[in-house]
A and B are shown apart, each in its own frame.
Chain A
Amino acid sequence: MTRCAALRVCMTLLASACLLLAGCAATPSRIDPLEPWNRAMFSVHEVVDGNVVKPVAQAYVKYTPEPVRSGVANFFGNIEDLFVGINNVLEGNGNRAGDDFGRVLLNTTFGLGGIFDLASMMGIEKHNQDFGITFGKWGIDQGPYLFVPLFGPTTVRDGTGTVVRAFLGPITYIVTDVPVRNVIYGIGYLNQRAQALDTEGVVDTAAIDKYRFIRNAYLRARRFQVYDGKPPPEQDDEGQ
């Protein structure tokens, strides 16, 4: 009887060890501890985006004349430049921030509210910068990777940056008429989605596993940005 019980315990232990191992094999890595959840969200995203958002974005690209689209992209890009500048200040990049604020000043006035990117034509380069990068430079860890439907790849740190950015408006505070504001938001979202169409086509052709490909490319690109284009070599035992 006791032997039988012992055997049963043994068997149970063995079975759970097997389960654990099997679990481990499918268990996500350190960078993506929420992988099963994220993959589910990615599937949701693929369905909703593929059936609704993407076709709308494609129609937008197809039926809107290029000068109009470029004006829309410049308008929203100009607002973003303000926050690029703020983040460059937070990171201590005075010269870059000067360029960014110069761009905003020039494009908002002579560029008719940002519709024309005169600054780029004059050789004042646009920069990539956001709160996620600033937090990274301050030494804040990126935390778990997240895939958010209709938003895309992010991390806890970068997502926090996006929320901070969203709170700062400024469209929320300037445009008080709710329907008008919603239209502006809608166009802004469409503009972003349309800009991603090209890259997405490339990922579709390139990736064996689209979810994994996007995650790894996203995390590497963010690392590159946090280290200002000079990331230390990755710890990786597979290299040659």
Chain B
Amino acid sequence: MIRLPAITALVLGLCVAPAFAQESPDALVKRVAEDVLTTIRSDKDIQAGDIAKIRQVMEVKLVPNFDFVRMTALAMGRNWRTATPEQQKQLTDDFRTLLVRTYAGALSNYRDNTMDYKPLRMNPADTEVVVRTEVKRSGQAPVQIDYSMEKTPEGWKAYDVVVAGVSLVTTYRDEFNDTVKSSGVDGLMKALTNKNRGPAPPPPVK
């Protein structure tokens, strides 16, 4: 499902996965977020507003930590079962692209902010947890960002992000439901493809 360049997959598979196999979900969120933020802050191209470069960083550092199949299934709700396996795969790929594009834009906005990680209360047997974080912005109230995480054989993966009480999956469930209702699963696939083909978000003016 996740098509990483072979070399990245190899590197990730050989070095990263064993090292972090036992990593707790909150430690994972913190490591990945700090890693991405550090890269965004230090990279000259990204500072200059190079969205393609941000997306590349995300592909390598963020994408492997999300379960896009589950995210797509949740966002589709009851419509997921009416889609064929081919449609499901296509929808997952398109939704993943859309999320990566969206996140690339959002992350470049967050580069001047600091993250605050809330302590996680969990039992060792838990397979689903919510990791809570906060973005501190100067002169504005902090924004709460929660990650819903699940335990998988490849470690913990996020399947929803809730920003200031707005769940990504639920917001897209409304989008997907309405679109499927008016133009069917095919219509939704077309809408997603068109959306992804649209112009990349403009670099933030700063």
**Of A70, A74, A127, A201, which is within 8 A of B105 by CB?**
A201
A209 lies within 8 A of B205 (CB): no
Indicate whether A61 sits within 8 Å of B178 (C-beta atoms), given known contacts A73-B139, A117-B138, A220-B165.
no
- Look across to chain A and name the residue whose beta carbon is closest to the beta carbon of B200: A205
Q: For chain A residues 196-220, which have a beta carbon within 8 Å of chain B?
A: 197-199, 201-202, 204-209, 212-213, 216-217, 220
Within 8 Å CB of B166, what residues of A? 217, 220-221, 224
Bound complex: CA of A117 vs CA of B138, how far in Å?
8
* Chain B residues bordering chain A, tally (CB within 8 A): 38
Contact B101 A205 (CB under 8 A): yes
**What distance in Å separates the Cβ of B101 from its nearest Cβ neighbour in chain A?**
5
- List A residues 173-205 near B (Cβ within 8 Å): 195, 197-199, 201-202, 204-205
User: In whole Å, how far is B183's beta carbon from the nearest beta carbon of chain A?
Assistant: 11
- B171 and A216 within 8 A (CB): yes
With an 8 Å Cβ cutoff, the count of chain A residues facing the other chain is: 42
Q: Which residues of B contact A231 (CB under 8 A)?
A: 165
Q: Could you mark each residue 189-206 of chain B with 1 if its beta carbon is under 8 Å from any beta carbon of chain A, else 0? A: 001100100001110111
CB contact under 8 A between A224 and B165, given known A70-B138, A125-B142, A202-B102: yes
Between-chain CB contacts (< 8 Å), 16 pairs? A58-B205, A73-B140, A197-B205, A202-B109, A204-B201, A205-B105, A209-B179, A212-B175, A212-B178, A216-B174, A216-B175, A220-B166, A223-B165, A224-B164, A238-B77, A240-B77
Task: Please report A residues at the B interface, Cβ cutoff 8 Å.
Answer: 58, 61-62, 66, 70, 73-74, 77, 117, 120, 125-128, 195, 197-199, 201-202, 204-209, 212-213, 216-217, 220-221, 223-225, 229, 231, 234, 237-240
> Which B residues form the contact surface with A (CB < 8 A)?
73-74, 77-78, 80, 98, 101-102, 105-106, 109, 138-142, 144, 164-167, 170-171, 173-175, 177-179, 191-192, 195, 200-202, 204-206
